[in-house]
């Protein structure tokens, strides 16, 4: 098992961060308190459990600027999206030394503040999100944060595995699971959308090349019109029960919030999955995109900014996949000679319209078991 574990990529920075527990409740009660939003709470867990290794806390100014300008931490380690904690300027003076982090008034962790600095929001929006348009959900969330970033190491009071406890695994646990299954090569797939046949096609093409498939849907905060995580997870479970080899598949949740940062977020997703222990990562069309802010394959092209050695995870790039009525199978522009009139392509908006109307989704688009999960979720409303 040790030899198999050694075949998995090393975590960024060389070792997995673990900053959970070991806090004294009596001491915490006397600390100044800082309430976290959903995204910051997710970031706290991801830092503390090693998903964001080598980060041990919210970024200081040197790392922040390095990520914005060069997609590198100050140490030179690749990183693509700032992980920061912003507060209002007038409140910043309250937060010196150790601060209790709360959610809904309950203490969930601590931050040892070592630095405060001004956020460069307009530059961050332009470089990370490629737009300063406040209609972009990620930019809107950025501008809503305070103007002063607090930096320092964090500690999570305890790990809350949330609504999917049986599927909520830390990087330590996934690495152990991969080794126990004898997987030397593992491909990860990320989505915030319901599973459909085109996704299944990508999974199974990739699974022909590696030992194991790590299905890792994002279950943190998303846009209000995205399909809820509980529905998406139920759809995955239905699909896995009938159409995937159980010995070669692991379903787990990725407890991050969506930033909708397109190409930059694709890199963050790949680096995070490296820390979970994967060797390959699927990037399809418009990964982590929203609206028309990014080109169809910008999220694939951005990886050329990094060497294979520093990424230490192989990026599997797939073109848009769809069902062709003429070919009578799932295809891509690389394999199908027929024009668009023969292609079944349903946008997320169209899928939601069909579901709200009570109509059935075509079996060529998604498996009947998944369609039933989605239909039931929408007709319950």
Catalytic residue, from 130, 192, 273, 367: name it.
Answer: 192
Query: How close are the terminal C-alpha atoms of the chain, in Å?
Result: 48
Q: What angle do CA 193, 46, 146 make, to 5 degrees?
A: 90
Catalytic residue of the set 98, 193, 248, 375: 193
Buried (b) or exposed (e) across 68-78, using 16+ Cβ within 10 A?
A: beebbbbeebb
By the 8 A CB rule, do 161 and 246 touch?
Answer: no
Identify the helix (H) or strand (E) that includes residue 276: helix 263-276
Let me know if 192 is a catalytic residue.
Answer: yes
Between the CA atoms of 39, 42, 44 and 50, what dihedral angle is there, to the nearest 10 degrees?
-140
- Exposed e or buried b for every residue in 95-105, given b needs 16+ CB within 10 A? beebbbbbbee
- Cβ atoms of 263 and 298 within 8 Å: the answer is yes
193 is catalytic: yes
Is residue 209 exposed (0-12), middle (13-18) or buried (19+ Cβ within 10 Å)?
Answer: exposed
CA–CA separation, 362 and 366 (whole Å): 7
Residues annotated as catalytic (active site), given as ranges:
192-193
């Amino acid at each position: 098992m040790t030899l198999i574990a050694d075949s998995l990529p090393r975590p960024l920075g060389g070792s997995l961060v673990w900053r959970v527990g070991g806090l004294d409740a009596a001491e915490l009660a006397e600390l100044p308190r800082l309430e976290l939003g959903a995204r910051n709470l997710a970031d706290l867990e991801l830092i503390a459990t090693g998903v964001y290794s080598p980060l041990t806390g919210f970024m200081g100014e040197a790392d922040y600027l390095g990520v914005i300008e060069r997609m590198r931490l100050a140490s030179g380690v690749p990183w693509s999206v700032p992980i920061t904690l912003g507060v209002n300027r007038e409140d910043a003076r309250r937060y010196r030394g150790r601060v209790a982090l709360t959610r809904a008034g309950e203490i969930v962790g601590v931050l040892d503040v070592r630095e405060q600095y001004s956020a460069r929001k307009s530059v961050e929006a332009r470089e990370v999100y490629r737009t300063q348009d406040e209609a972009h959900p990620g930019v809107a969330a950025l501008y809503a944060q305070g103007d002063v970033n607090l930096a320092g190491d964090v500690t999570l009071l305890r790990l809350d595995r949330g609504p999917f406890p049986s599927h909520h695994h830390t990087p330590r646990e996934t690495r152990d699971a991969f080794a126990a299954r004898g997987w030397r090569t593992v491909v990860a797939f990320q989505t915030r959308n319901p599973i459909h046949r085109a996704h299944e096609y990508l999974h199974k093409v990739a699974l022909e090349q590696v030992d194991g498939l790590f299905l890792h849907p994002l279950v943190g905060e998303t846009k209000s019109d995205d399909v809820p995580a509980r529905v998406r997870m139920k759809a995955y479970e239905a699909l896995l029960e009938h159409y995937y080899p159980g010995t070669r598949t692991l379903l787990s949740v990725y407890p991050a919030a969506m930033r909708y940062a397109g190409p930059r977020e694709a890199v963050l997703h790949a680096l995070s999955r490296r820390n979970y222990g994967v060797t390959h990562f699927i990037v399809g069309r418009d990964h982590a995109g929203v609206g028309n802010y990014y080109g169809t394959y910008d999220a694939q092209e951005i990886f050329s900014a990094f060497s294979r050695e520093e990424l230490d995870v192989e990026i599997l790039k797939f073109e848009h996949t769809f069902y062709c009525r003429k070919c009578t199978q799932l295809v891509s522009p690389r394999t199908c000679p027929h024009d668009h009139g023969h292609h079944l392509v349903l946008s997320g908006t169209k899928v939601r319209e069909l579901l709200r109307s009570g109509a059935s989704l075509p079996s060529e688009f998604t498996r009947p078991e998944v369609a039933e999960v989605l239909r039931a979720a929408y007709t319950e409303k």
